[in-house]
Structure 1
């Protein structure tokens, strides 16, 4: 795993809307330092970094970075109590996938 990804993951989940501006700025800078595409291992680790809300749009940036990986990060439907971002990733991989060719 690249050091930039490791640093982001070690900082933990994204904060919520009530976080201090400095914390949100830090997470934004950390995320911007990760060039895509990510590896499957990195995508899997990044999935655990979603917070309780969209963190002023930072969660969307995280989602798009995860989607640069080689495979869908989530291949099974999340548990009913899973984070909403896990559902988004799963649904985007299932419903936005190209139709199989015959």
Structure 2
């Protein structure tokens, strides 16, 4: 896994709408530092980073980044209880069910 992906994943789930502007900007910068396409392994790891809401559009950007992975749909881990609806969006787009917590 590339260092910039590891950094984003290590920071945990995206914050919710009441996070500080600095935190939201930091996560947005981390996400935009990841070049496309991502590997299936990276896509699976990134899919664990959804938070409880759209984080001012960052979650949508995360979906689009994950969707750049080439080849077959990666096997996704449990997205966790904080994943909001975004993990379901990915599952619907990929035509698969994601594991539930």
| Segment drifting more, 66-75 vs 9-18 | 66-75
Equivalences for 1:31-46 in 2 at 5 Å?
31-46=31-46
Tell me by how many angstroms 1:43 deviates. 0.3
Alignment TM-score, normalising by the size of structure 1: 0.82
2-structure distance, mates of 1:73, 1:91: 14
**Which residue does 1:88 correspond to in 2?**
89
1-structure distance, mates of 2:13, 2:61: 14
2-structure distance, mates of 1:3, 1:49: 16
Q: Give the ranges of 4+ consecutive aligned residues of structure 1 lying more than 3 Å apart after TM superposition.
A: none
- In structure 2, the gaps of 5 or more residues are 97-101
1-structure distance, mates of 2:32, 2:8: 10
Alignment TM-score, normalising by the size of structure 2: 0.83
Number of equivalent positions? 92
- In structure 1, the gaps of 5 or more residues are 96-102
66 and 17 in structure 1: CA distance in 2 versus 1, 3 angstrom threshold: same
Give yes or no for contact 1:47–1:73 (8 Å, CA) kept in 2. no
Select the structure of larger CA radius of gyration.
1
Please tell me the root mean square deviation across aligned C-alpha atoms, in Å: 2.1
Tell me by how many angstroms 1:86 deviates. 1.0
74 and 85 in structure 1: CA distance in 2 versus 1, 3 angstrom threshold: farther
